[in-house]
Amino acid sequence: MRKVSLLWGGLLGVLALTSLAWGIADSLRYANTPDDMVPYRKIEPYKRYFLVPLEYPGPGREYPEPDPSTLESVKIGYIGPLYREVHPKVSVTPQYFEIGQNMLRGAQMAIDEANARGGWRGILPYELVLKNDPVEQVDDTWMWGPVGSNVVDLIWKDKVWALFTTISSENSHILIRIALKAELPIMGTADTDPTFVETKIPWLFRCISDDRLQCYILAKYAYEKLGLKHIAIIRVNDRYGRVGVKEFREASRRLGRPVLFEVRYPRMSTDFSAQLARLEAARNIVDGVLAWGNDYETAHLVKKLRERGFDIPIFCSDRVITERFLKIAGPAAEGVIASCPWDPTSDDPVYLEFKKRYEERYGVPPETYAAHAYDGMNMLIQAIEKAGLNRAKIRDALDEYRIHPYHGVTGMIILNDIYTDVGPISIAIVKNGKFEFYSEEELGIHLCRYVKR
């Protein structure tokens, strides 16, 4: 009898492994990972992570709300890179501060529109309390002290009801741990680091697609649509570069197309002699380059690649979708392929109305981080309206977006089990000197959509 049981057990195990090899069940899939990019898909791992909805079982919901007559406003804390705090010679891309200002535009616009509607329940205005995020490094050390102090001040001195957070993952990881201790809702709209939400903090929400999904769509396009086989990575030497390319590198390996090599360069570089020497040595093999970094250095890298005669596809992150990139790279930018966490050419009426109001207010069309900031702030405002002035209940109201996706100006914001957006993304390709955007459907690329459970 024991032999028969063991035999059946063995057969069931083989069938389980076979089913994993043929296709991954939604219950085993982390977000939108395509079947052929799922790790350990041909074996049964000891444990798969991030497949169970986060919960907050702690205290807070029973805390009484303050008397509105004792408050002047409902405060929401904003922390982002708004201005430099150290010497201008310290290496930091100006793009960070531009993103911070764009985030502020979108967030402030949402606040002002909410106040025009009457504010919080027609009783109190909303107020955005600003703090700078010093994204510089001093002697190779990130300024964690100042950002930590700013977060502490927002929580305990300004007494904000929620935090609206920054772009730099080096600092945002410090921020979320402080907010965790304070039990404060957090909305992230610009940090695309995949590990940001993998800290499994039930107070943290993110309404922008991360670099994991952007790497998936780039890998699909490179290997399935263009038929490439040997891609090299040239990236900026910081956390954004290191964490950003990780999923592309791992997806390539799982597709049987391991990355040829990976080399790095310092921030704000314009000289890529050492990196291109490595590429020259593989000229007869390499058929594509993933150039991951900010717009300034990536534009110079693209120029150098074309000057060296590398007429091969160049893939980039969404950071290059700027006028500065196109201006610096010039004709060399033609054909560059970038991932994008939304479609700024959407004909969705919700977006078109926002775009019109934004242009009337600021004189320019909204870019990625302004649009996502507008969505994130509106999600926070709606949660506060529904929950009242109770931080735990505000968190619960944000959690409901996991079940009922939010229709924002950037499209459908679909939060997965660890509260990060896994909605549709797109690819931007430079044609005739400007970026043209293509949806997954238009490209014939189908990432697995997240299934609500």
Candidate from 49-53, 276-280, 303-307, 448-452 with smallest mean pLDDT: 448-452
Residue 199, number of CB atoms within 10 A of its CB:
12
| Within a domain: 273 | yes
Residue in 163, 197, 193 with CA at minimum distance from that of residue 179: 163
Tell me what the mean pLDDT of segment 51-67 comes to.
94
The pLDDT of residue 450 is 57
By percentage, how much of the chain surpasses pLDDT 90?
A: 74
Q: Looking up tokens 């492994």, which residue turns up?
A: 17
| Within a domain: 191 | yes
- To the nearest 10°, the Cα dihedral for 125, 386, 187, 409? -90
pLDDT at position 436 over 80: yes
pLDDT at position 8 over 90: no
* Pair type for strands 186-188 and 163-165: parallel
Residues 355, 330 within the same domain: no
Structure confidence by residue, pLDDT tens digits, 84-121: 776 565 667 889 999 999 999 999 999 999 999 999 99
Residues 111, 245 within the same domain: no
| Within a domain: 291 | yes
Structure confidence by residue, pLDDT tens digits, 127-151: 999 998 887 665 555 567 788 888 9
| Within a domain: 15 | no
* Residue 383: domain span: 72-209+346-422
Domain count, the chain: 2
Residues 266, 384 within the same domain: no
Instruction: Note if the pTM is more than 0.85.
Output: yes
The pLDDT of residue 13 is 37
The torsion region of residue 309 among left (phi > 0), alpha (psi -120 to 50) and beta comes to left
Residues 368, 399 within the same domain: yes
| Within a domain: 397 | yes
The pLDDT of residue 135 is 72
